Amino acid sequence: MDGPAYPRDRTGVLLVDPYNDFISDGGKVQPRAKAVMDAVGTVAHMRAVVDAARAAGIRVFYVPHHRSRPGDFTTWKYPTPYQQGAARVQVFAEGEWGGEWHPDFQPRDGDIVASHHWSSGFAGTDLDVQLRQHGIDRIVLVGLLANTCIEATGRYGMELGYHVTLVRDATAAYSEEAMRCAHDINGPTYAHAIVDTATLLAAFPRP
């Protein structure tokens, strides 16, 4: 890339689904991702990326999944098995602790919270207009899950013309195999850079 890899005025960190149900002890699906999160240090690396972005003047965009409500898919024509499973468990339930932000990832002044998505952070949301109105054309994705919402958001972002960076140790999945597929097989088909946290932070502008 010409010039700085991540110019502060053109780069946005997309923080995908930092809910208690995903990353807090006691979360409904946290046990499924815990082994991978512990192995790669997901939460600590998410925190490091977000903190470094704020310090460098890079804007943080929250990319939140739909918060579950009873009957969400009752009248849908084609809910997926994944959606049906989430509905049964009521993952990220509206008005419940599991659907609240993890304590380490509370929005701050200057952060942008996009409208809720079902899979891709772009489909049917205001994320694209929020990014463009803030002059962003390079997006850095962290959060969960690597092979679902992260991948869907990154692929859609690439198709919209954004430069996409995946941070492999600042995300997680329910298995090592899913992580490998997300980063080593599927990632290169849409991401322009796949890096670890240390490499990313070294490329961020100085505060």
Question: Structural domain boundaries of the chain?
Answer: 14-203
Could you tell me which of 167, 144, 183, 149 has the C-alpha nearest to residue 24? 144
126-146 pLDDT tens trace: 999 999 999 999 999 999 999
37-83 pLDDT tens trace: 999 999 999 999 999 999 999 999 999 999 999 999 999 999 999 89
Q: In sequence order, what E strands does 44-146 have?
A: 59-63, 112-113, 138-144
Q: What secondary structure letter does DSSP report for 9?
A: T
Could you tell me which of 130, 192, 182 has the C-alpha nearest to residue 159? 192
pLDDT band at 3 (very low <50, low <70, confident <90, very high): low
Is the pLDDT at 175 greater than 80? The verdict is yes
| Mean pLDDT, rounded, of the chain | 96
* pLDDT score of 1: 43
The CATH number given to 14-203 is 3.40.50.850
Q: Averaged over 181-203, what is the pLDDT? A: 98
Whole-model pTM: value is 0.96
99-124 pLDDT tens trace: 999 999 999 999 999 999 999 999 99
- Residue 185 neighbours by CB distance under 10 Å: 10
- Give long-range contacts, CB 8 A cutoff, 24+ apart: 196-202: 196/45, 196/167, 196/168, 196/169, 197/45, 197/48, 197/49, 197/167, 197/169, 197/170, 200/6, 200/49, 200/140, 200/165, 200/167, 201/48, 201/49, 201/52
In percent, the amount of the chain with pLDDT more than 70 equals 98
Is the pLDDT at 92 greater than 80? The verdict is yes
